[in-house]
């Protein structure tokens, strides 16, 4: 096989850049300085179509000059990449993509160019594999440059640095081919997005797949990992002229402190969990010795950092406790956050983007009961302008209340969970939906959740347990999930029913479980193992066969290590794989899966449906031809919600 036969290079382009559109800028309403939500005009039930709508704007990024926004926006029931004017009077340009191509990320590089990462499922040596590429896109969408796609390998979209001098330059780490080992290890190149020209800055090195650069564009560090031996090492240098030297090494489960930001004084900032939770420290170089602890959250892991404008220190630290927010270390930004918080009252505001001078801001405002809106905030005049509602049907309407609760699992482990209660109903003896999150190394927090709000609007109480093994609660809690897939992790979900029944909130005889990804697996497992507790189960993109999932994951980078992790979570795959327990299913189950799912292959649900059919068990199976793992199409969301609503009405009516 030659590189030119690799279909991404030859087929993806016409499918991706299908059109460029110029349309009027979106309407903006000037909100009062207090930014109060629009009161609900009626308490009438919200139709299912409203919950199926895609978010109005996703991951907005302000241009460095503060005049435009780049974001995914919902147009015609699909999300497209858009560059829109921040103020009235301009035009909006959009790039549409093919149904099987993902736009994964985008970032401004100067005022007139964007670096954009795309991906698509492809076939390599007879195996399905996910391939990524980088584009240089002019902000008015009149020019799109493929960044050396012909000489790129499977992974070619890791941007390490963007120039801050206004030029459209980036540092891009990418594999250069697939035919030799030297091509497989990514090199770092400086790229001019406006021309597509590249210049090598750091050559590929054996088993180094991750490179790191400082704020000045110097490639400072590489992380080496051998998937066969499980050996790891950190390579370091001070300047681009210096050779790389190994400054730390480890093996297996041993960890290495990896700097996140290189400071101007020669030190660094890093996250470390030696105290039981991820916390942020100063770190000396090159010995990686931990210094002053900058921040740690009581009971929770830190999420990450916010770099300063020059990329040589940090302005803030992000954390999720009951909800996600930023701890600002920069006094100016803390003052701005305090002013915004005061303006929005009981809702929550998160600064999500800013211009190069950090004098203009985009602020996401909402609550777990309100879809919310994106605002433009100018501290100079103290006004907030509403740029876009996240849901144009709901606007500022408040729906069902959400709270964080805690309960004890049967073995004494405390579990945190979200509880959504249907508005307008007495919180007594309610029908209940147990809605576990995916991952499973993830967690739910107090944010707008279209799925949970739809169920509450239909009349159900919804509990979303952050079962053992969930992320965000420290290393001990995460390790409690090891070996417990479908076992104690499943018990944690069942124990939420017991707790809510004791409190009189839930009727324990009217309970169903629903979930997606790992949550879909848990729903299958509930139908197989715990049918006495549930009336029905609903799985979206669930895993039914862990051995088959390991084989699929083995095709990706660090596949053997991922297999080690999965084996640690479930040492006996067969005993906890619902596919092999189809004869034990004792309640009806609704199974849905998108054919274009790249995270959990549709085969997982097909195998489950086939096993249930052979066992003579009741099930409904729906396959969405263009559906993916993340519900990025409104049509798929609507079909899913309608099917779930009808299924629940039949087996567990509210």
* Average pLDDT score over residue span 614-630: 94
Backbone dihedral region for residue 486 (phi beyond 0: left; psi -120 to 50: alpha; all else: beta):
left
* Average pLDDT score over residue span 69-95: 88
Task: Give the closest residue to 198 by CA, choosing from 220, 217, 173.
Answer: 173
Asked if pLDDT for residue 28 goes beyond 50, the answer is no
The whole-angstrom separation of Cα 613 and Cα 620 is 10
Judge whether 431 and 410 are in contact, CB under 8 Å: no
Considering only residues 30 and 106, tell me which one the structure prediction assigns the higher pLDDT: 106
For residue 318, the model assigns a pLDDT of 97
Task: Give the closest residue to 639 by CA, choosing from 592, 596, 602.
Answer: 592
Pairing mode of beta strands 619-624, 589-594: parallel
Q: List the beta bridge partners of residue 619.
A: 589
The whole-angstrom separation of Cα 518 and Cα 285 is 40
How many CB atoms are located within 10 Å of the residue 24 CB?
12
How would residue 559 be classed by pLDDT, with cut points 50, 70 and 90? low
pLDDT tens-digit series, residues 606-621: 999 999 999 999 999 9
How would residue 6 be classed by pLDDT, with cut points 50, 70 and 90? very low
The whole-angstrom separation of Cα 275 and Cα 13 is 48
Task: Give the closest residue to 266 by CA, choosing from 245, 235, 287.
Answer: 287
pLDDT tens-digit series, residues 122-138: 877 777 788 999 999 99
Backbone dihedral region for residue 276 (phi beyond 0: left; psi -120 to 50: alpha; all else: beta):
left
Q: Is the dihedral of CA 583, 651, 609, 456 positive or negative?
A: negative
Asked if pLDDT for residue 17 goes beyond 90, the answer is no
* Average pLDDT score over residue span 530-546: 96
How would residue 565 be classed by pLDDT, with cut points 50, 70 and 90? low
Task: Give the closest residue to 530 by CA, choosing from 471, 488, 571, 559.
Answer: 488
Pairing mode of beta strands 268-272, 259-262: antiparallel
Phi and psi at residue 47, in whole multiples of 5°?
A: -70, 155
For residue 253, the model assigns a pLDDT of 79
pLDDT tens-digit series, residues 409-433: 999 999 999 999 999 999 999 999 9
Element (H, E) at 493: helix 488-502
Say how many CA atoms lie within 13 Å of 107 toward its Cβ.
16
Say what percent of the chain tops pLDDT 90.
75
Judge whether 249 and 256 are in contact, CB under 8 Å: yes
pLDDT tens-digit series, residues 264-279: 999 999 999 999 999 9
Q: Give the lowest-confidence range in 30-39, 394-403, 472-481, 503-512.
A: 30-39
Considering only residues 422 and 381, tell me which one the structure prediction assigns the higher pLDDT: 422
Asked if pLDDT for residue 383 goes beyond 90, the answer is no
How would residue 549 be classed by pLDDT, with cut points 50, 70 and 90? confident
Q: Give the lowest-confidence range in 36-45, 577-586, 613-622, 642-651.
A: 36-45
* Average pLDDT score over residue span 538-551: 91
Considering only residues 31 and 436, tell me which one the structure prediction assigns the higher pLDDT: 436
Judge whether 305 and 263 are in contact, CB under 8 Å: no
Phi and psi at residue 484, in whole multiples of 5°?
A: -120, 15
Burial class (CB in 10 A: 0-12, 13-18, 19+), 274: exposed
How would residue 90 be classed by pLDDT, with cut points 50, 70 and 90? confident
The whole-angstrom separation of Cα 534 and Cα 511 is 5
Measured in Å, how far apart are the chain's first and last C-alpha atoms? Answer: 58
How would residue 180 be classed by pLDDT, with cut points 50, 70 and 90? confident
**Helical H runs in 616-652?**
634-651
For residue 4, the model assigns a pLDDT of 30
pLDDT tens-digit series, residues 432-463: 999 999 989 999 999 999 999 999 999 999 99
Helix (H, G, I), strand (E, B), or coil: what is residue 80? strand
Say how many CA atoms lie within 13 Å of 1 toward its Cβ.
12
Rg (CA), the chain: 25
The whole-angstrom separation of Cα 169 and Cα 216 is 12
Task: Give the closest residue to 190 by CA, choosing from 150, 219, 153.
Answer: 219
Q: How far is CA 381 from the centre of its chain?
A: 34
Task: Give the closest residue to 430 by CA, choosing from 652, 173, 601, 582.
Answer: 652
Task: Write down the pTM of the prediction.
Answer: 0.90
Q: List the beta bridge partners of residue 174.
A: 187
Asked if pLDDT for residue 304 goes beyond 80, the answer is yes
Element (H, E) at 49: helix 48-52
How would residue 555 be classed by pLDDT, with cut points 50, 70 and 90? low
Q: Give the lowest-confidence range in 374-388, 547-561, 599-613.
A: 547-561
Asked if pLDDT for residue 23 goes beyond 80, the answer is no
Which DSSP string corresponds to 307-366? E-TTSSSEEEEEEESSSEEEEE-SHHHHHHHHHHHHHHTTSEEEEEEE-TTS-SEEEEEE
Class of domain 402-651: alpha beta
How many CB atoms are located within 10 Å of the residue 608 CB?
30
For residue 395, the model assigns a pLDDT of 95
The whole-angstrom separation of Cα 218 and Cα 331 is 28
* Average pLDDT score over residue span 223-240: 91
For residue 76, the model assigns a pLDDT of 81
pLDDT tens-digit series, residues 502-512: 999 999 999 99
The whole-angstrom separation of Cα 286 and Cα 270 is 13
User: What is the pLDDT of the chain when averaged over all its residues?
Assistant: 89
């Amino acid at each position: 096989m030659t590189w030119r036969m690799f279909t991404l290079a030859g087929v993806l382009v016409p499918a991706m850049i299908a059109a460029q559109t110029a349309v009027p800028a979106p309407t903006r309403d000037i909100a009062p300085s207090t930014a109060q939500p629009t009161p609900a005009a009626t308490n009438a039930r919200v139709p299912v179509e409203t919950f199926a709508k895609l978010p109005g704007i996703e991951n907005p990024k302000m241009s460095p000059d503060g005049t435009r926004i780049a974001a995914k926006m919902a147009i015609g029931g699909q999300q497209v990449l858009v560059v829109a004017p921040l103020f009235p009077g301009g035009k909006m340009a959009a790039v549409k993509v093919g149904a099987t191509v993902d736009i994964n990320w985008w970032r401004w590089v100067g005022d007139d160019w964007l670096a954009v990462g795309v991906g698509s499922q492809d076939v390599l040596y007879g195996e399905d594999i996910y391939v990524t590429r980088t584009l240089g896109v002019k902000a008015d969408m009149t020019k799109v440059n493929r960044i050396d796609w012909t000489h790129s390998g499977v992974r070619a979209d890791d941007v390490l640095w963007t120039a801050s001098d206004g030029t459209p330059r980036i540092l891009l780490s990418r594999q250069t081919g697939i035919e030799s080992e030297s091509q497989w290890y990514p090199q770092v190149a400086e790229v001019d997005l406006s021309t597509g020209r590249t210049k090598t800055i750091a050559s590929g090195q054996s088993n180094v797949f991750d490179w790191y650069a400082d704020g000045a564009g110097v490639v400072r560090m590489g992380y080496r990992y051998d998937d066969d031996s499980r050996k790891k090492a950190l390579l370091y240098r001070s300047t681009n002229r210096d050779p790389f030297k190994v400054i730390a090494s480890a093996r297996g489960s041993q960890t290495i402190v990896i700097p996140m930001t290189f400071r101007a004084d020669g030190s660094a900032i890093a996250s470390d969990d030696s105290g039981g939770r991820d916390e942020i420290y100063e770190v000396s170089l090159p010995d990686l010795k931990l210094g002053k602890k900058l921040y740690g959250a009581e009971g929770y892991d830190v999420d990450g950092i916010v770099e300063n404008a020059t990329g040589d220190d940090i302005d803030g630290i992000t954390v999720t406790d009951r909800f996600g927010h930023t701890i600002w270390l920069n006094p100016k930004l803390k003052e701005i956050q305090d002013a915004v918080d005061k303006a929005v009252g009981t809702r929550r505001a998160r600064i999500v983007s800013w211009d190069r001078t950090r004098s203009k801001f985009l602020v996401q405002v909402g609550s777990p009961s309100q879809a919310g809106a994106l605002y433009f905030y100018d501290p100079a005049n103290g006004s907030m302008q509403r740029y876009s509602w996240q849901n144009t049907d709901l606007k500022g309407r408040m729906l069902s209340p959400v709270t964080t609760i805690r309960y004890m699992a049967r073995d004494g482990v405390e579990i945190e969970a979200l509880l959504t209660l249907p508005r307008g109903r007495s919180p007594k003896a309610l029908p209940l939906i147990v809605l576990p999150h995916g991952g499973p190394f993830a967690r739910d927090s107090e944010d707008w959740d279209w799925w949970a709000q739809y169920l509450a609007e239909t009349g159900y109480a919804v509990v979303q347990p952050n079962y053992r093994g969930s992320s965000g609660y420290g290393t001990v809690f995460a390790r409690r999930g090891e070996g417990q897939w479908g076992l104690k992790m499943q018990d944690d979900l069942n124990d939420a029913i017991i707790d809510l029944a004791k409190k009189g909130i839930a009727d324990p005889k009217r309970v169903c479980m629903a979930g997606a990804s790992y949550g879909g697996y848990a729903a299958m497992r509930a139908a197989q193992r715990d049918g006495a507790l549930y009336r029905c189960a609903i799985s979206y993109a669930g895993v039914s066969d862990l051995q088959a999932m390991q084989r699929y994951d083995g095709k990706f980078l660090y596949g053997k290590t991922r297999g080690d992790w999965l084996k640690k979570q479930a040492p006996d795959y067969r005993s906890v794989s619902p596919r092999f327990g189809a004869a034990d299913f004792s309640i009806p189950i609704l199974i849905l899966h998108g054919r274009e799912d790249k995270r959990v292959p549709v085969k997982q649900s097909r195998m489950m449906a086939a096993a249930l059919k052979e066992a003579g068990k009741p099930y409904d199976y729906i396959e969405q031809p263009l559906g993916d793992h993340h519900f990025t199409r409104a049509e798929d969301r609507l079909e899913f919600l309608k099917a779930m609503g009808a299924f629940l009405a039949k087996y567990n009516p509210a």
